[in-house]
Amino acid sequence: RKEVKFSTIIKNCSFKIEKIITFLALLELIKLKVIFVVQSENFSEIYIERINENEKQ
């Protein structure tokens, strides 16, 4: 599995609106069960992973 840090994705956004759109896109991908996110505790790093077709339920 390959995971990506949310902070890495956001750091590539230059403008506030890009950050907002990126966040909303991630929420949509979570809803569609394309990705899932893991955060071990409040305010810690958020890790994003793609869900394989085999893992979808």
pLDDT in tens, 4-34: 999 999 999 999 999 999 999 999 999 999 9
What CATH number has the domain bearing residue 23? Answer: 1.10.10.580
Q: What angle do CA 31, 8, 38 make, to 5 degrees?
A: 45
Is 27 within a domain?
A: yes
Round to the nearest angstrom and report the end-to-end CA distance of the chain. 18
Number of domains in the chain: 1
Q: Which residues contact 36 (CB under 8 A, 6 or more apart)?
A: 30, 48, 49, 51
HSE-CB for 42 with a 13 A CA cutoff: 0
pTM for the whole thing?
0.81
Domain extent, residue 36, equals 3-52
The two structure tokens encoding residue 31: 């809803």
Q: How would residue 53 be classed by pLDDT, with cut points 50, 70 and 90?
A: confident
